[in-house]
Structure 1
């Protein structure tokens, strides 16, 4: 069997798969991580899951994403999700910058991407989807990091990093998690972790601004303000608190969380990246099933790695080279979706699944 795809499961999920395999109705929720261009490495998994594996589903599926995780779920919840995934992929890959990448250019390109895959009709489809319940978060800023002045904002970033180094819980002094969600979203389905959450229902008036806020990276993009129906303030990337969203299911739920991801490890917050001891394991992943490209497969991709946002700097002035490499990576990664479908449908997932470390 091919080793292109890694399938990891927490203790309860692992036992279920070994005994029963995995069906689409076993999944109660899906999580989507921040990661910008890294999403291209799992585009094929997401496409296969939503366009094929979930075909015919009727019971609610709850989604929670941040940044590109929010954007991909907005594609997943459109009527023709395969086409929407392809439009998002194409729009994201074909970003163009001249010389040094400036905030105003990033804002322009971000709006272009959003307009290409998220039309008014698409928003109506998402909000009226018969079974997908979309949810995504943004971090409402407190104190210095909410400033629009880069020097003050930089001090706020430093403050947040310092507090996080002491304890992740101290991030509450810098951010408030705001969950923008489908009107029929069950906000009690995912257990709260160490941060409280302010829920805000989505509608046509706030959808575009809310999803833009979920991916507004500090020091790179302007924060989003005046989101209809939400508390006043500056909203930035949801990945600040939930870089790789990590929630458990409410104990009343009997299903599992499915998590297509770029890596085989989960880093809770953006400021946790340098703290290897904060990777999630144990009870936090008990009912979670994670799908990721294997290290061996990643080595075969262009440049021998997963695409990432730093390619804009590495290949500055060479957009055509970057576009060609990213297109090739996305095309190669379709095999991961095929392998997941084959493993789930044939039952071979019982042999392929491994336990979380």
Structure 2
């Protein structure tokens, strides 16, 4: 169990945890990364973090994520986080597609998943949660990116890719970032997303905002006219905040980052650019929790689930379901390892520096 989970700490987080250990009140922010089915590989870790460790807090805590990272954080802000995570995992696992897979088919499945883990009765739970303050980002698109025409959309993505080659700063500036946030929490938006448009959540916009932050171009339709956000077509927040970076600095607290990888890749187009991975300076306040190579090697096929499994297991949905369910079941070992480390104080000896 001790070898199943990596505890990777930035310099300030490392010094703080070595001195004091880690308690629920030490956490100042929790981040959730994009990654589609990869989240299933850390389901048990998230359940332990939110359902047990952070449930003992007494003060509010902001959460920020994109795409599936935002979906799981919305589940965390349900009254029963464990049950909500289970609903989300079950609904996500039971996706079925027949060729040719059309955009409307993926849209329909996304709606089904949201309906399963976030029924309308749950919205008030999230907006009034005593501890957790949900935040997520979406992109208001313009030009070709606002179109559903494949040629226009491809042209828009191609231009964005070319700009990204010049650097992350001009790339981020190319997009209109919209941050949806809990109306009771303003400091994170003001401190971390200078220049972004901030829109408070309401009962009318929470669901469409969640759909928008997971709307992957080409695979899914953009979401139009989200209440409170004005006109426009809104797409996946992971285009900019693929693996979100924390604000700098963070006023003496810890950024808790349950992640499926031991590194952070800030932008969607950076996935095949190792030099773009976040530096140790970017993550100085972060405690990143990730499955160890030994844990991943122990899973069927020696890897965690990912979206390509839909094509790998084409015609064999039963095989995909067996794999994904096994990964979810095994991920409980990650949660157990985390809780053991923080409750015994052994986390001090588990820490490794972020590269």
Please confirm whether the aligned pair reaches a TM-score higher than 0.5, indicating the same fold: yes
CA contact (8 A) 1:141 1:174 kept: no
- Do the aligned residues in 2 keep the contact of 1:143 with 1:174 (CA within 8 Å)? no
Quick check: 1:190–1:247 contact (8 Å CA) kept in 2? Answer: no
Partner in structure 2 of residue 283 of structure 1: 281
Contact 1:57 1:131 in 2 (8 A): yes
Is 1:74 the counterpart of 2:74? The answer is yes
Q: What is aligned with 1:130? A: 130
Compute the displacement of 1:249 (Å).
4.7
**C-alpha displacement at 1:28, in angstroms?**
0.8
Distance (whole Å) between structure 1 residues aligned to residue 24 and residue 55 of structure 2: 9
Q: Provide runs of 4+ in structure 1 moved above 6 Å.
A: none
In the alignment, which residue of structure 1 is the partner of 2:100? 100
Aligned partners of 1:340 and 1:137: how far apart in 2?
Answer: 28
Q: TM-score, normalised by structure 1?
A: 0.96
Q: Is 1:91 aligned to 2:80, yes or no?
A: no
Cα distance change of structure 1 residues 106 and 44 upon mapping to structure 2, 3 Å threshold = same
Distance in structure 2 (CA, Å) of the matches to 1:274 and 1:196: 28
Q: Alpha-carbon deviations, 1:271-318, whole Å to 9, x = none?
A: 111211111123211111000001111111121111000101111121
Distance 1:160 1:265 in 2: 23
CA offset digits 1:91-119 (Å, max 9, x no partner): 00000112332211111111100001101
In the TM superposition, residue 250 of structure 1 has moved relative to its aligned partner by 4.7
Q: Give me the whole-angstrom Cα distance separating, in 1, the residues matched to 2:103 and 2:18.
A: 49
Q: Could you give the per-residue CA deviations for residues 17-65 of structure 1, whole angstroms, max 9, x where no partner exists? A: 1111111110011000000000011111110011111223220110000
Distance 1:191 1:300 in 2: 41
1:6 deviates by 0.4
SS of 1:3's equivalent? coil
Instruction: Provide the C-alpha distance between the structure 2 equivalents of 1:206 and 1:130, rounded to a whole number of angstroms.
Output: 20
Sort the Cα spacing of 1:189 and 1:8 in 2 relative to 1 into closer, same or farther, 3 A. Answer: farther
Aligned pairs for 1:319-338 (under 5 A) are 319-338=317-336
1:174-213 CA-partner distances (Å, limit 9, x unpaired): 42111111111233477436x6311100011111111100
1:204 is aligned to 203
The Cα of 1:255 is off from its aligned counterpart by: 1.2
Give the match for residue 19 of structure 1.
19
> Where do residues 1-357 of structure 1 align in structure 2 (5 Å cutoff)?
2-172=2-172, 174-188=174-188, 191-192=191-192, 196-251=195-250, 253-357=251-355
* Alpha carbons 1:145, 1:174 under 8 Å: kept: no
SS state at 1:285 partner: coil
RMSD: 1.4
What is the number of residues matched between the two proteins?
Answer: 355
1:172 deviates by 4.0
Contact conserved, 1:18 with 1:350, CA < 8 A, in 2? yes
CA distance in 1, matches of 2:296, 2:260: 10
CA distance in 1, matches of 2:30, 2:206: 20
Question: In structure 2, how many angstroms separate the alpha carbons of the residues matched to 1:174 and 1:145?
Answer: 11
Equivalent pair of 2:76/2:84 in contact (CA under 8 Å): yes
Output the TM-score relative to the length of structure 2: 0.97
